[in-house]
Amino acid sequence: MTTIGTGRGVRLLMLGILLGGSVPTAVVAAPPDNAGAELQQPANLVQAWLSFPDAVSIDWPYAFITARQSEAGENAGRQDLLDEFGRLEWRLKDYGYARLAETIDTWREKIKTFKTFRVPGHWSPAYLLAHPDRQPPIANIAAVGACEVPSDVGVWSADGFESIQWRSGLRLSDIEKRVPALRDGSKPMVAVVDPYGHIDHYGVEAWNYADGPVEPGSQIVASLPLKGEAFGWIRDRMADFLAHTPSGVNCRQTKIAGETDSDDNDT
């Protein structure tokens, strides 16, 4: 029996597993020689994933990378959104829309809970090797991370925020039945953020109706039932913000510069 111990052989074996290949029965891998080590400027993102603890267990839609400047930028963007919500809440109360003012307050409090920001995209080794032009410069990456698959879907509507239990085969139409307020917005489409952070828009009225599958960790955002371009903007800005947050739970990340941090994110 051939045993691969440490070094390049283990990395090749790991790469095969990450790419979805099988491990030959004649090959037994010892623990990687960099287990528990800090990441010291890997050559590229694929190499960073090979060094990530327990990389073979990653569910790739729930893996993420962070950019070196993303936290400051996204925090600023979040504050802009919170400020806009604050002004909107004041106007809604002033004009007698107490229920919608409460909705905006619910949205504000919920988005304050997001602490980690990612770069949306598909970052698995298989995808990066198949699309080398999509691989970001390693110098721009602050950390790589992975989350557990969540058990729910987030829904943002005039009723506030609701967490819907995910099940196999769940579709947008199923969620609309649970949350009819998704159809009440002034804009005839909802924004759906998938686990990778890709945003699609689906029609919710008879003339433009569209349906589709919804994956765990997705976020669905409707516009508010008030006239004005700003309400469509809020829907799209909310969707963009959510696309920049990890889509899973119990996330862990390893900084490219060195130390490994673990923190739970209920997104």
Mean pLDDT of 230-253: 91
For 95-124, write each residue's pLDDT tens digit. 999 999 999 999 999 999 998 899 999 999
Residue 190 above 50 pLDDT?
yes
Report how far apart, in Å, the C-alpha atoms of 176 and of each of 122, 151, 168, 211 are.
Answer: 28, 18, 16, 10
Average pLDDT, the chain: 83
Residue 49 above 70 pLDDT?
yes
Report how far apart, in Å, the C-alpha atoms of 25 and of each of 20, 30, 41, 55, 237 are.
Answer: 16, 14, 33, 20, 50
pLDDT of the residue at 258: 41
Domain segments of the chain as ranges: 45-255
For 82-110, give the secondary structure using H, E and C: HHHHHHHHHHHHHCCCHHHHHHHHHHHHH
More confident residue, 189 or 230: 189
Mean pLDDT of 184-210: 96
pLDDT of the residue at 36: 36
Total Cβ atoms within 10 A of residue 189: 19
Predicted model pTM: 0.82
pLDDT of the residue at 243: 97
pLDDT of the residue at 204: 96
Ranges of beta strands (E only) in the chain are 2-4, 27-29, 63-67, 141-148, 152-157, 160-165, 189-193, 199-203, 219-221, 249-255, 260-262
For 19-46, write each residue's pLDDT tens digit. 554 333 222 222 333 333 357 778 999 9
pLDDT of the residue at 18: 52
Mean pLDDT of 73-82: 83
Among 79, 75, 74, 99, smallest CA distance to 89 is for 99
